[in-house]
Amino acid sequence: MDIQQFEDKGLAHYSYAIYSEKVNEIILIDPSRDVTPYLDYAISLNAKISGVIETHPHADFVSSHLELHQTTGAKIYCSQLVGAAYPHTSFDEGDKIILGDITLKALNTPGHSPDSISIVLAYAGEDRVVFTGDTLFIGDCGRPDLRESAGNVTVGREALARMMYHSLREKLMVLDDDVLVYPAHGAGTLCGKSLSEEDSSTIAAEKVSNWSLDELTEAEFVKELLSMQPFIPKYFPYDVDINRTGAAVLAASLSKVPVISGAPVFDAGTMIIDTRPEAIFKQGHLPGAVNLQEGGKFETWLGSIVAPGEPFYLLAGEEVVLQSVIRKTAKIGYESFIKGAAVYAGGSEQIDAIPLADFRAHPENYTIVDVRMATEAAEYKIFDSAISIPLDELRERTNEIPVNRPVVVHCAGGYRSAAGSSIIAAALGDQVKTYDLGNAVKQFEP
């Protein structure tokens, strides 16, 4: 038996391959959009991918379960509560999959979503591993507020939080202490709020270190789980619906992205996402362009700033980066919204460097805009006078920013403030000067 963990760092996502030497077959759990790593793994073993299990319809990434079914013949397993529109076999409490000398057992573990399942792997008659999806994370549990308006079954956050309380205690904590815990996400995901950097654990270790398994009343648990959750990106409900239907084959979908060669021409009023480094962007960019740099959490912020269905242009400074950001766009199912992708340099608009000495001496002469998440701003203020407008809400709320003083935009390290300052500069134009504090924000931390 072999268990292979695959990591997508950009989305803090873990997927898994379970291999049985006895039958030379593989079953995948929660695969990401690109099937290549899984096919390469199967080829390395000369094995067949015979099944794919979805622990729930994911909100933060597009899964490749349907493509794997179409290209390898693998059966897709999911809870009947998903209401899946793709060919599938129901996999709910009491159901088992036999993979040689491995038995995979379904547990219905609602809480993150009403249709969430966990999968217990038994080998040689003993429970060895539990794949917990977005139910139990390392150090945390899944947030319960993503399925109030998406999916086949919609449930309010308080009801889901109560379900989570019981799923954790009645389905997972009762497993043997030495059972390994493999979740679908790690630190950096927006599917929870305080995940560990570790990529696996045990039931015993989680009982000691995971707040959600503490001795809490149901009311105490619900109150804590609902407090201080991160924002919900615009694309999350959209991805739930894609995953319930099944995404198009990646290569075919990418081939439809219009790549512009030569001197590009852009339609006025269409969003422009410029992924070049912020220093280059500030020296010259197109009017209205948003500086969302390649790297960081590009996929998450793209799906937080741009709404599903909104067309946009995608720019990069070189071909290899352009291809990278196109593929990252596809990870959240946004590739069909790309009106044109192009390698681009220059531009008539500029954002001047902040007069740092004057700002340090006279911060009262500036309007400071904090584009961190609301929970970050509430927990840790850097400037007492700052206006808090989270980056995911900024395009809709620039009218709240006064124009009687120069505007300084900050986040925690510079990635989000680069995007935020470009949004504000485009919206306010010549009314006021806009500056990006960037990485210099660290000089002002208490």
Contact 222, 160 (CB under 8 A): no
| pLDDT (average), residues 136-147 | 96
Strands 271-274 and 290-291: parallel
Same domain for 90 and 197? yes
Which are the contacts of 222, defined by CB distance < 8 A and separation ≥ 6? 158, 161, 162, 165
**What's residue 416's pLDDT?**
97
**Is residue 416, in this structure, part of any structural domain at all?**
yes
- Does position 195 have pLDDT exceeding 90, yes or no? no
- Does position 375 have pLDDT exceeding 90, yes or no? no
**Is residue 273, in this structure, part of any structural domain at all?**
yes
- Does position 47 have pLDDT exceeding 90, yes or no? yes
Same domain for 130 and 161? yes
**What's residue 401's pLDDT?**
97
**Is residue 6, in this structure, part of any structural domain at all?**
yes
Q: Which CATH number do you get for residue 6? A: 3.60.15.10
Provide the token pair at 342. 């192009």
Name the residue range of residue 410's domain: 356-444
Within 13 A of 121's CA, how many CA atoms are on the CB side? Answer: 27
Q: Which residue has the tokens 């460097």?
A: 353
**Is residue 19, in this structure, part of any structural domain at all?**
yes
Quote the number of domains for the chain: 3
Same domain for 233 and 304? no
Q: Report the alpha-carbon angle 275-281-282, nearest 5.
A: 150
Same domain for 326 and 362? no
* pLDDT > 90 fraction of the chain, expressed in percent and rounded: 90
Same domain for 9 and 131? yes
409-433 residue pLDDT tens: 999 999 999 999 999 999 999 999 9
Provide the token pair at 337. 């919204």
Which of residues 295, 311, 343 is at a domain's end? 343
Same domain for 219 and 304? no
| pLDDT (average), residues 66-81 | 98
Same domain for 285 and 379? no
**Is residue 244, in this structure, part of any structural domain at all?**
no
Exposed / middle / buried, residue 113 (Cβ in 10 Å: 0-12, 13-18, 19+): buried
- Does position 296 have pLDDT exceeding 80, yes or no? no
Provide the token pair at 264. 């590009």
Which of residues 313, 343, 373 is at a domain's end? 343
**What's residue 152's pLDDT?**
82
Dist. CA 430–CA 28, nearest whole Å: 54
* pLDDT > 70 fraction of the chain, expressed in percent and rounded: 100
Same domain for 330 and 269? yes
**Type of residue found at 181:** V
Dist. CA 125–CA 140, nearest whole Å: 29
Provide the token pair at 297. 């959490």
| pLDDT (average), residues 193-211 | 93
Q: Which CATH number do you get for residue 324? A: 3.40.250.10
Exposed / middle / buried, residue 253 (Cβ in 10 Å: 0-12, 13-18, 19+): middle
CA distances (Å), origin 237, targets 147, 301, 312, 445: 8, 15, 19, 36
**What's residue 295's pLDDT?**
86
Same domain for 26 and 153? yes
Dist. CA 281–CA 291, nearest whole Å: 7
- Does position 7 have pLDDT exceeding 90, yes or no? yes
Exposed / middle / buried, residue 78 (Cβ in 10 Å: 0-12, 13-18, 19+): buried
246-290 residue pLDDT tens: 999 999 999 999 999 877 888 889 999 999 999 999 999 999 999
